[in-house]
Amino acid sequence: MKQTKSIATDKKLNAPLPVVSGLRLTKQRQEVYQTLLEKRDHPTAGEVFKRVRKKLPTISLATVYNCLEALVDHRLVRQVNFERKSSRFCPNLVEHGHFQDTSTGKVYDITIKDGVDLADFINLPEGVCVQEAEINLRGAVADS
């Protein structure tokens, strides 16, 4: 499927892990973050583990989980869940949703139309303040 361009897609492929208060800089975290930037295919923790091991052969799976959690908690990475499958991870910080091709399992970013707001198409009850919005689609792609 054709990839849509976006600000985040144009981000440098080897941007260093931003210095954020409360997030100690370790080579494991840098490498996990780099790995997510280099191939934006929404890998699972296990897939990230396989990739990072090429650079850091002694890293453990638990550390990959720890790093991903730290990155997610600091909002440098988003966690994407389809049904009860393994979580996937996405470094695109622009507001977007996800589409999964049911025949390949691959996950793609989908962007929200410019200037569109949640409340424009959803009946939000009085007094609710939406903090996180998840839009996950699944379906087929023509020809493939």
Partner DNA sequence: CTGTTATTTAGAATGATTAAAAATGAAGGC
Partner DNA sequence: GCCTTCATTTTTAATCATTCTAAATAACAG
- Would you tell me which residues interact with Mn ion (CB under 5 A)? 73
Q: Is 61 in the site for DNA (CB under 7 A)?
A: yes
In sequence order, what are the beta bridge partners of 88? Answer: 44, 80
Q: Which amino acid is at 17?
A: L
Is 13 within 8 Å of 38 (Cβ atoms)? yes
Of residues 79 through 118, those in contact with DNA by CB under 7 A are 84, 86-87
Q: Is 113 in the site for a second copy (CB under 8 A)?
A: yes
The interface partner of residue 60, options being Zn ion, DNA, a second copy, none and the CB cut-off 5 to 8 Å by kind, is DNA
What minimum distance in Å lies between the beta carbon of 34 and DNA?
13
Q: Is 67 in the site for Zn ion (CB under 5 A)?
A: no
CA distance 18 to 34: 11
Q: Is 7 in the site for a second copy (CB under 8 A)?
A: no
Q: Is 54 in the site for DNA (CB under 7 A)?
A: no
Strands 78-80 and 88-90: antiparallel
Radius of gyration (Cα) for the chain, nearest Å? Answer: 16
Q: Is 13 in the site for a second copy (CB under 8 A)?
A: no
Q: How far is CA 91 from CA 35, 41, 121, in A?
A: 10, 10, 27
Q: How far is CA 39 from CA 59, 112, 132, in A?
A: 19, 22, 25
Q: Is 45 in the site for DNA (CB under 7 A)?
A: yes
Of residues 92 through 121, those in contact with Zn ion by CB under 5 A are 92, 109
What minimum distance in Å lies between the beta carbon of 141 and a second copy?
5
Q: Using the rule CB under 7 A, which residue among 67, 77, 90, 107 binds DNA?
A: 67
